[in-house]
Amino acid sequence: MQQYQCDILYGAKKLDPEAGFGPRILPVKLPDSTDAVHAGALRERADHALAPAIAQTATYTFADSADLERFQSGNDADLDRQEYGRYGNPTVREVERRVAALDGADDALLFASGMAAVTTTLLALVKAGDHVVLFRDAYRRTRQFVVGTLGRLGVEHTLVEPGSLEGLTAAIRPRTRLAITESPTNPYLRCIDLARFASICRAQRVKSIVDATFATPVNVRPLSHGVDVVIHSATKYLGGHNDVLGGTVAGAAPLISLVRDLRGVLGGVVDPHAAALIGRGMKTLSLRVERQNATALAVASALEGHAAVERVYYPLLASHPDHAVAKAQLRGGGGVVSFVVKGGRAAARRVIDGFRIARIAPSLGGVETLVEQPALMSFHELDDAELAAIGIDAGLIRLAVGVEETADVVGDALGALDAATM
């Protein structure tokens, strides 16, 4: 079927024999709103429908044994034909094509959650005796998987200090198979130089993986900087409405094929209804992220001048340690602002209780502004000294802005600070 054509789908490609996994994508423009609506989407559908149908089916039929034989031989005219729901679904497949288009990838996969995407991808690439490099500020479940689960399976790892490319270089060994980082990271929004990260890995034949959940393809496309694989928790910005879990993996076709095969074994497939919700959310991705970029920058700037705030972390503030990289690499700083209030744990607790629009909840990237205090949520079992040991300030607050009016979100944050300090 005909697809919307743009440079995102058909960007200039060159063969890179060093990559070991086929073609690499050269830099092309970041996706805009037209791309978010159309890139990778089918133009013709059954019954002339505009919106995609939800193929709510667990299995697929064959007319007769000859039909089945044709399918199994790979000679079926319908290349997208499916056999069983764990191996594929047309509703899911269209969203995968759209993710590939936005990420500038040959191909992409959709999973039941971000963690299903992370775990399946890592498992597809390593075996016992291999070594993995992970940055210390990785999402804690990713770290738990690498350290605990992969460790139990005989895969070794090295934890590298946040953002340290020198640490990465030093950590790579002959058996290093992959390096994974987020960018920006949680909660301090560290941004790594993706081109340098990719080239250090490539020079050592190490697969480079970036979890770009916090950036989205609207703000950066890691593949166009030479990274091998990009992952998103679609639960966040891609879905965008805090109502569905999902995860994506995108990269060169042979690598995605490996991950797809393992997905069929491990079974972390997304339900077609959830896929349709993610696909619908993605239509407004660019609009939402543009608003979230603008609001977060406005909040960060306003907080930086507030007497009750000790420190603000936002990549596009000049005070951020990775400001130069972020400015060169990101279209926008994303929707998350982290800040430390004076007075530690108790003061931060009063501040999160003072928000009137933002809701207290984990997660980010949806239309509703959410606020959380890591000391009370992700790390609730740790005391202040233990928090300090892992680099988390007890007075830290993470604000994940939604798409409400910028002035309202800024006012809510300032109002919460004022209420807590009066």
Ligand X SMILES: Cc1ncc(COP(=O)(O)O)c(C=O)c1O
What is the nearest approach in angstroms of ligand X to the Cβ of residue 114?
Answer: 2
Residue 139 binds ligand X, judged by CB under 6 A: yes
Residue 412 binds ligand X, judged by CB under 6 A: no
End-to-end CA distance of the chain: 62
Residue 113 binds ligand X, judged by CB under 6 A: yes
Residue 235 binds ligand X, judged by CB under 6 A: yes
Site residues (CB under 6 A) for ligand X, limited to 12-71 = none
Residue 95 binds ligand X, judged by CB under 6 A: no
DSSP 11: -
Residue 378 binds ligand X, judged by CB under 6 A: no
What is the nearest approach in angstroms of ligand X to the Cβ of residue 295?
Answer: 19
Encoded tokens for 228 = 């091998």
Residue 120 binds ligand X, judged by CB under 6 A: no
Calculate the alpha carbon distances from 127 to 103, 131, 148, 156, 403 in Å: 27, 9, 15, 10, 43
Encoded tokens for 410 = 């800024």
DSSP 317: S
Q: How many CA atoms lie within 13 A of 67 on its CB side?
A: 9
DSSP 64: S
Listed ranges 92-100, 111-119, 276-284, 297-305: which one lies at the site for ligand X (CB under 6 A): 111-119
Give the Cβ contact number of residue 51 at 10 Å: 10
Residue 233 binds ligand X, judged by CB under 6 A: yes
Identify the bridge partners of residue 4 per DSSP, sorted by sequence position.
Answer: 39
Listed ranges 16-24, 35-43, 110-118, 298-306: which one lies at the site for ligand X (CB under 6 A): 110-118
Residue 216 binds ligand X, judged by CB under 6 A: no
Smaller CB distance to ligand X: residue 377 or 388? Answer: 377
Residue 183 binds ligand X, judged by CB under 6 A: no
Give the Cβ contact number of residue 111 at 10 Å: 27
What is the nearest approach in angstroms of ligand X to the Cβ of residue 231?
Answer: 7
Residue 107 binds ligand X, judged by CB under 6 A: no
Residue 274 binds ligand X, judged by CB under 6 A: no
Closest CA to 137 of 187, 209, 87: 187
Q: How far is CA 17 from the centre of its chain?
A: 27
Residue 103 binds ligand X, judged by CB under 6 A: no
**Site residues (vs ligand X, CB under 6 A):** 113-115, 118, 139, 182, 186, 211, 213, 233, 235, 245, 247
